[in-house]
Each structure stands twice: as structure tokens, then as C-alpha cells.
Amino acid sequence: MVRITYVEADGRTQEVDAQPGWSLMEAAFHNGIEGIEAECGGACVCATCHIYMDERYLEKIKPMESGEDEMLDCAAAERKPNSRLSCQIEITDELEGAVVQIPETQI
Amino acid sequence: MSSDSPIIIVGTGHAGLSVAETLRRKGYEGEVRLIGEEPGLPYQRPPLSKQYLKGEWDESRLEQRNSGFFEKNRIDLVCGKAVTDIDPASRCLRLDDGSEVSWARLVLATGSRVRRLGVPGAEAKGVHYLQTRADADALKKAKENVRSVIVVGGGYIGLEGAAAFAQAGIKVTLLNRGTQLLSRSTSTPVSDYFYRLHHAQGVNIEFNTEVVSVNVVEGQAVGVTLDDGRSLRADLILVGIGVEPNTALAERAGLRCVDGVAVDGACRTSVSGILAAGDCTAFTHPLYGDTPIHLESIQNAVEQGRIAAATLVGEEVSYDAVPWFWSDQYQDKLQIAGLARGHDLEVIRGDDKGARFSVFCYAQRKLVAVESVNAPSDHMLSRRLLKQGISPTPDEAADLSFSLRDMLA
Ligand SMILES: Cc1cc2nc3c(=O)[nH]c(=O)nc-3n(C[C@H](O)[C@H](O)[C@H](O)COP(=O)(O)OP(=O)(O)OC[C@H]3O[C@@H](n4cnc5c(N)ncnc54)[C@H](O)[C@@H]3O)c2cc1C
Ligand code: FES
């Protein structure tokens, strides 16, 4: 298991033991973390799983594909340089200790 | 116990779960019970015909939330029990084990049930449907030992199933009733695109065909006979000829039903204290006039679930979200914003013979739907255009250098 910390928009934090191979969205979704809606369940078609990725770990995840890039442009909250769709980030051992920030709104 | 509790939700699908979860998010403190006839934790349906059927996902990935979530949120989950009757007068419902449960408020989230193939032989072994986790498990198991499949129906389930089989190297024949795939719901360029896509993957598609019987040998389906007299052989038959709203409970209890349980914009049914959400409903939508619409989509299930919960906690809400839908086939992604019902003009943005384009559908010069193939930004921008009631002119829509984004408020 990989320890991931989610920080909700109001500052509440929650630590989750995440399954390698799953996505950062799934780990949040299964644990009922609020603020990640994930309406499409990871099909990269809703942009309601937007997160700000821990900058220390940006190098350790696969770069985004064009579909994610286009969806992020239309996400409800502000897009920042570390914006990603959490359903497109696969959890690996390298993400141990990562802190994921959840934006104010997804819809 | 206060008079607004307990809230009982019938159906543990996407809509039912959305109601329960939203109630807690909104701070509702009363008792919430979610009753469903399917066994196990609530799961996601779309992957059943996609990642799960292909074997890319295991069962735990299908689950919507883990069991800790239900405990933490004090959602009393009752699985594997069907509700057989509801009685609005006594506010009581009966389960298939004979027990009775009282409610203060009730939400019906009973979803859809599959339309079955009503021809001789259709009950034989080897004839499959794809709606539940159990269906998908049976199909996955059967898939390991088959070399040829007949898919009956060229809708989303049929096409996604065909894609999963074709990708596993299984010979697929798809039988379509009309002249166009996905005909009820999509534009001609999009249907044609998916025809070419499946054709290129080796799927044999037959149009204008009707199955008159399933051929059975020793209880096992071995193929079908068509209305033109031909017989086709196959090791397995997958039927995807649509679904119908599950209104039986509601009808028996005297709720108004027309192509679904009739609800208003706040998800209230015709009987006080009873709400409904998701695939089982029909309602009028501010964007689509006076004729009720009925949707079968995740977007609608989740949205109506939220609305029902808001109504239950006393908020004033009304459904005005733009409907959207998606389908994954092979590497391609179809995304639909809006409803192409009764449109009279189709305008192509991009190259419909290439791998990325959108079709803008108009009814009386008003934009009503946009169907995008591998064009996510068109899709997302279209949702906002539709929401704001903005129609680019057909010329603007067709012009790739015209910025849709700049039209938005
Ligand atoms: C294979 C498949 C793929 C799909 N793919 C997509 C997709 O890509 N995109 C998309 O937008 N939509 C897709 N859909 C449609 C989407 O899954 C449905 O619109 C959605 O599940 C509707 O949610 P619901 O909660 O209203 O109903 P359901 O999910 O059907 O849930 C209803 C539940 O109620 C239970 N129930 C019914 N009657 C009773 C009773 N009397 N007592 C107790 N329980 C009862 C049922 O057993 C069921 O579990 C797909 C559907 C299927 C089957
Ligand atoms: S869950 Fe829908 S885009 Fe990530």
C-alpha cells in the first residue's frame, strides 16, 4: 500500500492507504473523500476529479495526454501548473507520502 | 425519531448512492437506509461493458465506495433484498423476505431493466445480457471459451460488447434492426464513424435484420435464424436491445408513470413523501420543451440523486443540468452533450473521416446537442454553450478557426 494524503479545500486532511495500480481518483473515491466527484468513474470525460498534484512528485508521474489536457482547460476550478485529473494518475510506490490538494469546486 | 426520518432509498445503483451520499454531505442527521436487490457493495455500471468485460479491472475496482464509507456515513446498506410492495397510505414497504419497513420519506431509484429477446429459443443457455455485475461475470466466463459471437442490437451495449470481443480475437457478427447504428440517439456522421471503426476491427455488421429465433441444440444456443431465412452460427449470443424504466413498484402503488416514474424538477413524484431519481424517471426539462424526457445515463442518475437529496433537506432546487453521456469503443471516445431529439440540421466541425470531429445538432436553428468523437474540448465547451442557451451559427460551428470558448459568458 502507498500512503497518500488528501487535503480538502477547507484544509481538512485525510490519509489513505492506496492500492498500487489504481488511480489517485479511485483511492479517494473508495474512501469517500469529499471534493473529488469523479462523475464518470475515471473515463476522463467529466473533469470532476481535478486535483493540484504535489509538486515534489510531478516528475514521478506520467505526463498528461492531450485528452486530459483539454478536459483540464474546462475544469470548474482554476487551472494551475500542477493541475491534473486524478483519474489519470496511476498510484505507484514512488508516490509514497504524496500530498494531493483538492480544489474548491468540481462542478 | 423525528417525522422526516427514516429516509428509505430503493435501489443501490448510481442514483440511490448519490441520494444517500448527498444527504450526509448536506448534514442530514436522520436515518438513511439504502435497500437493493443486487448482492454486494454498490458498483459502477459503465465499466461492465468496458474495462471489466475486457478483463482490465478486477471486481474491487468496480465498487463505488468501500464498506468503511457506509459505516462512517451511517448509511444502512441492505443488499440482496428486493422491495416487493410499497404502500403510500401506511408509509410501509415490504421486502421479499416478508419483513416490513416503515418510512417517513421514500426515494425510488430502481433504474432500468433489460428488454429481453422475445423469440423462440431465447431462454437457452448461451444467450447473454449485460446489465448487472452478475451478467458481466457470466459473460466474462463464457467469453474464454468462444470463438464466435453474435451481438443482437447496435446500441451502446452491443457496440461496446462487440469491441471487447473483437479485441479478444473473437469473430463478431452484429445484427442491427435498422439502417443505422445507434440510430435512436445519434447523428448520421457519428453512426457512420462507428460503423467504419467496427468494420476496420473485423466486426461483421448486418443492417435491416431481425432475429426470428435462436437455434438451440441440447439446451445450448448455437446461432440464430433471421427474418430473411438465413441461419447464422455462433458459440455465444449477446443481446443488447435496450432497457425499460423499472416502474413496477411505482405503478402498483398508484404513482403517475409515463415512460418512467413522472417527477418534477425537484424529483417529487405524484405522491407526497415519495421521490424518484435516475433511469426509472421521466420529466420535463427546461431546455427541451414540454414533452417529457427519459434519460439513461450516469450524469442523470447522479444529478437527480443530488436533487432528490436537496429536496429532502428542504432546499428549493430544479433540474436544469445539460444531459451528457459517453461511450468508449476501442481507443475512441464518444461524448454527447445535450439531446439530439428531433433535430433537423447536422453540422460537422472537424474531419468526420478522420479521427477527431464533432457534430452540432440543431432543431429550428437552435443548438440542441453536440456529439464529439475524440474531441473533449468541443464537448466541454458545448455543455456550457447549451447550458447558457448560446447557439453558434452553423457556419461558425463548422469553422475550426472560430473560437467556441469566446462565445461563453
Ligand atoms: C453495461 C452498461 C454500460 C453503461 N455505460 C454507460 C456509459 O458509458 N455512460 C453512461 O452515462 N451511462 C452508461 N450506462 C447507463 C448507466 O449505467 C445507467 O444510466 C445508470 O446506472 C442508472 O443509474 P440508476 O441508479 O438510475 O439505476 P441502476 O444503476 O440500474 O440501479 C438500479 C438498482 O435498483 C435495483 N432495484 C430495482 N428494483 C428494485 C426493487 N424492487 N427492490 C430493490 N432493488 C431494486 C436494481 O437491482 C439496481 O441495482 C451503462 C449501463 C450499462 C448496463
Ligand atoms: S473521473 Fe471523470 S475525468 Fe476523472
Distance (Å) from the alpha carbon of B23 to chain A's nearest alpha carbon: 13
Distance (Å) from the alpha carbon of A23 to chain B's nearest alpha carbon: 10
More reliable by pLDDT, B184 or A80: A80
Taking the centre of ligand 2 as the mean of its atom positions, its distance from the CA of residue B303, in whole angstroms, is 15
- Note the pLDDT of residue B4: 87
Q: Which of A41, A45, A70 sits opposite B44 (nearest CB)?
A: A41
The H-or-E segment that residue A5 falls in is strand A2-7
Is B13 a pocket residue for ligand 1 (Cβ < 6 Å)? Answer: yes
CA–CA separation, A87 and A24 (whole Å):
6
Tell me the domain boundaries of chain B.
7-113+244-312, 127-241, 331-407
- Note the pLDDT of residue B185: 72
- Single-letter code of the amino acid located at B150: I
Q: Which of A30, A71, A79 to mutate to test the interface with B (most CBs of B within 10 A)?
A: A30
Taking the centre of ligand 2 as the mean of its atom positions, its distance from the CA of residue A86, in whole angstroms, is 7
Contacts of A67 in chain B (CB under 8 A): 333, 374, 376
Taking the centre of ligand 1 as the mean of its atom positions, its distance from the CA of residue B12, in whole angstroms, is 9
Taking the centre of ligand 1 as the mean of its atom positions, its distance from the CA of residue B43, in whole angstroms, is 10
Quick: pLDDT tens for B185-225. Answer: 789 999 999 999 999 999 999 999 999 999 999 999 999 99
Is B301 a pocket residue for ligand 1 (Cβ < 6 Å)? Answer: yes
Is B327 a pocket residue for ligand 1 (Cβ < 6 Å)? Answer: yes
Average pLDDT, chain A: 94
pLDDT > 90 fraction of chain B, expressed in percent and rounded: 94
Quick: pLDDT tens for B372-405. Answer: 999 999 999 999 999 999 999 999 999 999 999 9
CA–CA separation, B9 and B20 (whole Å):
8
Across residues B132-157, what is the average pLDDT? 96
Q: Tell me which architecture the domain covering B7-113+244-312 has in CATH.
A: 3-Layer(bba) Sandwich (3.50)
Note whether A74 contacts B333, CB cutoff 8 Å: no
Note whether A41 contacts B46, CB cutoff 8 Å: yes
Q: Which of A22, A34, A70 sits opposite B376 (nearest CB)?
A: A70
- Note the pLDDT of residue B108: 98
Distance (Å) from the alpha carbon of B213 to chain A's nearest alpha carbon: 37
Tell me the domain boundaries of chain A.
2-101
CATH 3.40.50.300 given to domain A2-101: no
Q: Which of B61, B376, B384 sits opposite A26 (nearest CB)?
A: B61
pLDDT of A72 strictly over 50: yes
Across residues A10-36, what is the average pLDDT? 91
SS (H, E, C) chain B: CCCCCCEEEECCCHHHHHHHHHHHHCCCCCCEEEEECCCCCCECCHHHHCHHHHCCCCHHHHECCCHHHHHHCCEEEEECCCEEEEECCCCEEEECCCCEEECCEEEECCCEEECCCCCCCCCCECEECCCCHHHHHHHHHHHCCCCEEEEECCCHHHHHHHHHHHHCCCEEEEECCCCCCCCCCCCHHHHHHHHHHHHHCCCEEECCCCEEEEEEECCEEEEEEECCCCEEECCEEEECCCEEECCHHHHHCCCCECCCEECCCCCECCCCCEEECCCCEEECCCCCCCCCECCCCHHHHHHHHHHHHHHHCCCCCCCCCCCEEEEEECCEEEEEEECCCCCCEEEEEEECCCCEEEEEEEECCEEEEEEEECCHHHHHHHHHHHHHCCCCCHHHHHCCCCCCHHHCC
Average pLDDT, chain B: 96
Q: Which atom of ligand 2 is nearest to the CA of A37?
A: 1
- Note the pLDDT of residue A33: 86
Taking the centre of ligand 1 as the mean of its atom positions, its distance from the CA of residue B328, in whole angstroms, is 17
- CATH top class, domain B127-241: alpha beta
Distance (Å) from the alpha carbon of A33 to chain B's nearest alpha carbon: 9
Contacts of B63 in chain A (CB under 8 A): 30
Q: Which of B63, B65, B380 sits opposite A47 (nearest CB)?
A: B380
pLDDT confidence band for A89 (50 / 70 / 90): very high
- Chain B: residue whose CA lies nearest to A30: B65
Out of 3.30.390.30, 3.40.50.1100, 3.50.50.60, 3.30.1330.10, select the CATH number for domain B331-407: 3.30.390.30
pLDDT of B2 strictly over 70: no
Across residues B27-49, what is the average pLDDT? 97
Note whether A70 contacts B377, CB cutoff 8 Å: yes
- Note the pLDDT of residue A34: 83
Note whether B376 contacts A67, CB cutoff 8 Å: yes
- Note the pLDDT of residue B205: 98
Distance (Å) from the alpha carbon of A75 to chain B's nearest alpha carbon: 9
Query: Under 8 Å CB-to-CB from B70, ≥6 apart: which residues?
Result: B41, B76, B77
Quick: pLDDT tens for B297-308. Answer: 999 999 999 999
Note whether B380 contacts A73, CB cutoff 8 Å: yes
Taking the centre of ligand 2 as the mean of its atom positions, its distance from the CA of residue B169, in whole angstroms, is 29
Note whether B326 contacts A73, CB cutoff 8 Å: no
Q: Is A4 helix (H, G, I), strand (E, B) or coil?
A: strand
Q: Do domains B7-113+244-312 and B127-241 have the same CATH topology?
A: yes
- Note the pLDDT of residue A29: 84
More reliable by pLDDT, A33 or B386: B386
Contacts of B46 in chain A (CB under 8 A): 40-41, 43
Q: Which of A22, A24, A25 best tests ligand 2's pocket when mutated (most atoms within 8 Å of CB)?
A: A25
pLDDT confidence band for B1 (50 / 70 / 90): very low
Quick: pLDDT tens for B160-189. Answer: 999 999 999 999 999 999 999 997 678 999
Instruction: Report the Cα–Cα distance between both ends of chain B, in Å, rounded.
Output: 47
